[in-house]
């Protein structure tokens, strides 16, 4: 393509603000100008005039082999550039302040790489690892909270209730051993104590029932004896 130049002119005035000359600067629009234009940003650009690419920061990637220049320099249209790396390009016009109306505008094409999964595999692994650690920690906290609310506290209430029942009903002097700190062991021990207390009460109840049965038998025998004496008395009185 032909060489295009960027020309900047500034008037030179004296102390009376009277123009005495013109200072001009000329810069060729080429790859070096494109590199200087985006040196601090690190962007990839192409500079076009009409359908010709005048300069680009990606000349070494042979953009003209992957996408025709007339398509790349089309304004307000997205272009996909293929190859070993995919790029998305979009062009727009740029004008300098106080630019002469008869001067042509420069077309700047912004070229952005399209990243694939393989490009950021390491970063994705780090993100997944961080999410996994967060989910695991959240699960442990939720499990601890749910266990404490729905299991440990009810078990402690049951244990306290069982111990109070054992203390009230244990008339046989059953010794209550010290319970372990384990919640399930403490609950099992409390149920064992309650079972022993109920067994003692059942034994006492059976003994009392047997005593009552013996008393009833003796009472029946005594009543039968009284009735026999009365019957003998009646017989003797009538015979006499």
Write out pLDDT tens, residues 104-133. Answer: 888 888 888 876 555 556 677 888 899 999
Say which CATH class 5-114 falls into: alpha beta
- pLDDT above 50 (res 232): yes
Tell me the backbone φ, ψ of residue 41, rounded to 5 degrees. -100, -30
Q: Is 34 exposed, middle or buried (0-12, 13-18, 19+ CB in 10 A)?
A: buried
| Residue environment code for 113-125, b if the CB has 16+ CB neighbours within 10 A, otherwise e | eeeeeeeeeeeee
- Residue spans in the chain of domains classed CATH 3.30.450: 5-114
Q: Name the helix (H) or strand (E) containing 95.
A: none
Q: pLDDT category, 90, cuts 50, 70, 90? A: confident
Distance CA 74, CA 76 (A): 7
Tell me the backbone φ, ψ of residue 85, rounded to 5 degrees. -130, 135
- pLDDT above 60 (res 1): no
Look up the pTM and report it: 0.43
Highest mean pLDDT among 6-20, 52-66, 70-84: 6-20
């Amino acid at each position: 393509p032909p060489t295009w130049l960027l020309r900047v002119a500034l008037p030179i005035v004296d102390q009376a603000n009277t123009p005495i000359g013109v200072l001009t600067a000329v810069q060729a629009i080429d790859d070096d100008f494109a590199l200087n234009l985006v040196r601090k940003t690190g962007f990839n650009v192409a500079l076009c005039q009409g359908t010709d690419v005048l300069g680009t920061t990606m000349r070494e990637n042979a953009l003209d082999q992957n996408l025709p220049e007339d398509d790349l320099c089309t304004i307000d249209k997205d272009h996909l550039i293929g190859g070993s790396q995919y790029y998305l390009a979009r062009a727009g016009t740029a004008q300098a302040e106080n630019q002469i109306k008869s001067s042509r505008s420069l077309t700047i094409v912004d070229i952005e790489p399209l990243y694939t999964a393989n490009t950021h595999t390491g970063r994705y692994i780090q993100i997944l690892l961080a999410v996994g650690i967060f989910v695991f920690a959240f699960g442990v906290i939720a499990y601890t909270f749910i266990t404490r609310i729905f299991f440990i506290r009810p078990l402690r209430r049951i244990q306290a209730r069982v111990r109070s029942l054992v203390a009230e009903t244990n008339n046989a002097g059953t010794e209550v051993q010290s319970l372990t700190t384990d919640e399930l062991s403490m609950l099992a021990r409390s149920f064992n104590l309650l079972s022993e207390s109920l067994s003692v009460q059942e034994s006492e109840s059976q003994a009392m029932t047997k005593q009552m049965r013996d008393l009833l038998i003796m009472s029946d025998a005594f009543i039968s004896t009284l009735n026999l004496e009365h019957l003998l008395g009646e017989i003797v009185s009538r015979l006499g």
